[in-house]
Amino acid sequence: MTATPLGGTSTALEVEEVGTPAPVAGPPTSRRRILTTITRDNGALACVTFLAIVVLMAVAAPLITKLSGWGPYEFDSAAINSDLGGVPHGALGGISAEHWFGVEPQNGRDLFARIVYGARVSITISLSATLLTGILGVVLGMLAGFYRGWVDR
């Protein structure tokens, strides 16, 4: 028994901890939350997979076009029928083992090679636009926050 400041007595129970303490897990990191959210959502997983394939295709464009055998600016006059106004030979726009996605009418350029190299241009434009709007948004936001008043409006 122990004495209390008001003159009374109290009994204190002492509890002894048994076993190992449970590890204290902090909240999941933002990277872990994003990964678990994406892996649980089939639509998001499909979109991320598609974007990864497009980015890899754009990065490896020279290698991929060497495998296909046709560059984006090479003309294949044998793949088009000039008697019919430049219509590709064969069914479905000239799709064959030689031209995986067919050829352009009238000039015979390989569509697969043009799509692969076009992905590079599209990704460059989208990243540039994102970077530019991000920089402009930060600068304008900082000016509005610093000067307030009419600038903020």
pTM metric for this prediction: 0.66
- At 129 the pLDDT is 98
C-beta pairs of 44-51 under 8 Å, 24+ apart in sequence: none
- At 150 the pLDDT is 81
Angle between helix 111-147 and helix 42-59 axes, rounded to 10 deg: 110
**Residue 11 pLDDT > 70:** no
Report pLDDT digits (tens) over 14-37: 666 666 665 656 666 788 888 888
Report pLDDT digits (tens) over 96-151: 888 889 899 988 899 999 999 999 999 999 999 999 999 999 999 999 998 888 87
| DSSP state, residue 22 | P
pLDDT band at 86 (very low <50, low <70, confident <90, very high): confident
- SS3 assignment, position 124: helix
Cβ pair 104, 72 in contact under 8 A: no
- At 85 the pLDDT is 81
